[in-house]
Structure 1
Amino acid sequence: MKNTIIKFGFYGFLLSIVLFLSGLYFGKGMDFSTQEVVGYLTMVVSLVFVFFGIKHFRDNENKGQLSLSKGLLIGLLISAFTASGIALADYIYTTAINPDFFNEYIAMMREQGHTEEIPDWGSGFMAFVMFATVLIIGFIISLISALILQRKN
């Protein structure tokens, strides 16, 4: 089980970093709403390895059997790798590549008429929010994958 989690988690980690940074690079001219959609697509696509990791464990390591709880655990652990990749890429982007991102985002929000105070939480907190968001989406994908792939002999 450990090897499956590390293998497919690493794939998710790498894919999430590549897709996240590619989306930022190619999406420079896009507005923040479009970039947000691209960001969520990046999260979901990066989590595809959850399904394949659970399936690999069932078929190759567990003699064709899979309980819901075991599938959910494997999926969540793979999701944690993917979430770490996106959080790391987000942190690098907001600290090294574009440290003015939050100021630009707040300015855009004010232009759209948001007058309430928008807190500036910093790159570390926002990376944690990205990690938590991907982990929540990963939980949903893990649950669906485990339900589809569960098999008891």
Structure 2
Amino acid sequence: MTGNIFKNGILGGLIAATVMSSMVFYMKANPGVQLNAAIGFISMLLAFTFLVFGIKQNRENNNDKISFGKAFLIGLGISFIISTIYVLAWLVIFYNFFPDFIEKYSDMVLKNTNPEDLAAKTTEMNQMKEWYKSPLMVILLTFMEIFPLGILVSLIAGFFLKKK
């Protein structure tokens, strides 16, 4: 079971990290261009398809039986590995290749914000800049980008793939 979790988690993590890396390097090469957030979201969902594969493989290895709880925990384990690889990839990129990311991102967001929302968005971006001064906050913020979606997909997959 753990080999199944690691295998699917690593494969999903590589997909999520590769797409995220591509988007970040595109953003760095084209400052001011706002990428479509849907691309990132879809790539995360694509990565979490390995969560479904992992649950199905475990069910097949267990005489086509799996409880919701076990399916959810397998999904959660795969989600955690995918999210961890995503975070590690971001840390490598941020600290080695794009240390001024938060400033560039903030400038891009503020440039594309409606004038009536500018004050609130400026406050939000200044808070992000403060958070990005701490490596722990960078890790937590990056983890929160992807892991909640993994929890949701784990719940849905566990519900639909359970079989007694």
- Specify the TM-score bucket, using the shorter chain as the normaliser: 0.7 to 0.9
Counterpart amino acid of residue 41 in structure 1: I
SS at match of 2:18: helix
For the structure 1 residues 8 and 126, does the alpha-carbon distance in structure 2 shift closer, same or farther, using more than 3 Å as the test?
same
- The range that moved more, 22-31 or 94-103, is 22-31
Using the size of structure 2 for normalisation, the TM-score is: 0.81
- Is 1:147 paired with 2:149? no
C-alpha distance in structure 1 between counterparts of 2:10 and 2:108, whole Å: 35
What corresponds to 2:49 in structure 1? 48
What corresponds to 1:32 in structure 2? 34
What corresponds to 1:11 in structure 2? 11
C-alpha distance in structure 1 between counterparts of 2:43 and 2:96, whole Å: 21
Q: Percent identity of the aligned residues?
A: 27
Counterpart amino acid of residue 2 in structure 1: T
What corresponds to 1:104 in structure 2? 104
C-alpha distance in structure 2 between counterparts of 1:71 and 1:140, whole Å: 13
Equivalent pair of 1:68/1:147 in contact (CA under 8 Å): yes
C-alpha distance in structure 2 between counterparts of 1:11 and 1:38, whole Å: 19
C-alpha distance in structure 2 between counterparts of 1:101 and 1:63, whole Å: 49
SS at match of 2:163: coil
What corresponds to 1:75 in structure 2? 75
Matches within 5 A, 1:127-142: 127-142=139-154
Displacement of 1:3:
1.6
What corresponds to 2:58 in structure 1? 57
Number of corresponding residues? 150
Q: Which runs of 5+ in 1 are unaligned?
A: none
Displacement of 1:13:
2.0
- The range that moved more, 103-112 or 70-79, is 103-112
Displacement of 1:97:
1.4
- The range that moved more, 14-23 or 141-150, is 14-23
RMSD: 1.9
C-alpha distance in structure 2 between counterparts of 1:127 and 1:147, whole Å: 30
Deviations 1:13-72 (A, max 9, x none): 2222222212333454373352x3322222211111100000000002x11101000000
SS at match of 2:99: coil
Using the size of structure 1 for normalisation, the TM-score is: 0.86
